[in-house]
Amino acid sequence: MACLPITLQIPPANRPAAVGVYQRYKAPFLEKISGAKSKDLLVRDEDVQVLHGFETTQQARAYLKTDPFTADVVTALKPLLDAAPDVRIYQAA
């Protein structure tokens, strides 16, 4: 299993809109993205984090290049961000 956490610097006033973006794209992610296993949202005091689960790290990397991510999710979140997202990929042991 691979994990793709994306940490977002979103001010508290913009967080409800960010939650809306997450809710809008969760089902299509799970239904249509190759290898997608899970998608969870953590709204923390310091930031917002989206945790994506995949079968493999290759599928996680490939997702970052898909139209649903680059055209839909990134476009919807861009006006809400205070900084560039921190994107990482981990392989579960």
- Residue 72: what are its φ and ψ, rounded to 5°? -90, -65
Tokens 């001010």 sit on residue? 11
Count of CB atoms situated within 10 Å of the CB of 82: 10
Q: What is the pTM of this model?
A: 0.94
Residue 93 pLDDT > 90, yes or no?
A: no
**What average pLDDT is seen over the chain?**
96
Q: Classify strands 2-8 and 86-87 as parallel, antiparallel or unpaired.
A: antiparallel
pLDDT tens digit sequence for 12-51: 999 999 999 999 999 999 999 999 999 999 999 999 999 9
Q: Which of 93, 92, 77, 91 is nearest to 7 (CA)?
A: 77
- Residue 30 is encoded by which pair of tokens? 């799970």
Pick the CATH number of 2-91 from 3.40.50.720, 3.40.50.1110, 3.40.50.300, 3.30.70.100: 3.30.70.100
Segment 40-82, tens digit of pLDDT: 999 999 999 999 999 999 999 999 999 999 999 999 999 999 9
